[in-house]
Amino acid sequence: MELELNNKVAIITGGAKGIGEAITRTFAAEGAVACIFGRSAIEADQLVQEMTALGQRAESYVCELTDEARLREAAAQVLSRHGRIDFLVNNAGVNDGVGLRAPVADFRASLERNIVHCFVLMQACLDALIASQGAIINIGTKCATTGQGGTSGYAAAKGAMNALTREWAVDLAPHGVRVNAVIPAEVMTPQYDRWISQRPDPAAEIARISASIPLGRRMTTAQEIANTVVFVASSRSSHTTGQILFVDGGYTHLDRAYTAPPLT
């Protein structure tokens, strides 16, 4: 299916690794210009070089996402260079373990890391997105729906992201701009791998988690998340807005005990 993304411009926060990298690669493979926003200068530059060698277009804009001035400057640089911004993917975030007994300052900092920069970047890109009748895709987490324990800051931020997805969808519908969220659950990313490696028996933990995912008894891949993001951004999803889309093999909403016998 032709997604009609040639020469469209996409900003992807945290686009140099994990799910963000898969999203960057997929936009570029479909002919878009993928603009990576994040602090990982070396990783972003390596990714840009690799994609350039493939004849694809990607760019790196180094910025600390909690630096409002730099974030607005980077968005302005994209607009100045390309004359348009078509897609904004708010992907960057970190499950930072700021729990109930954390200092309030840590809770505030978690919100800065995980949701405030999304609001800032939306403002910075807003007029350009309206001009292009573009699309925003927010990358959330199952924690905002299920809870996880020990991560009040991250869960609060991602819960806000779900709410803002629908709030922004209402605000921007008159302008033809669509806003949706894509929600992963269990995806093997570098961050996830670091977490799982700290468990007493990582292999057993992966097997346990995989067994609890109804569809295929396996984790979702980063590419599967990216495929949904890019499709929802494209004009092939032209009447989809305000949706919270779970790409998780049924992990969040289906009965993970899964006691029904196989169909015959």
Residues 63, 35: Cα–Cα separation, whole Å: 12
Dihedral-angle region of residue 133 (phi above 0 means left; psi in -120 to 50 means alpha; beta otherwise)? left
Phi, psi (5° rounding) for residue 60?
A: -115, 130
Q: Which residues pair with 89 in a beta bridge?
A: 12, 137
Q: Which of 61, 154, 192, 251 is catalytic?
A: 154
Q: Name the token pair of 23.
A: 């999203």
The yes-or-no answer on residue 61 being catalytic is no
Residues 225, 228: Cα–Cα separation, whole Å: 5
Residues 230, 234: Cα–Cα separation, whole Å: 6
Phi, psi (5° rounding) for residue 71?
A: -65, -45
Q: H-helix or E-strand containing 41?
A: helix 41-53
- The residues that are catalytic are 154
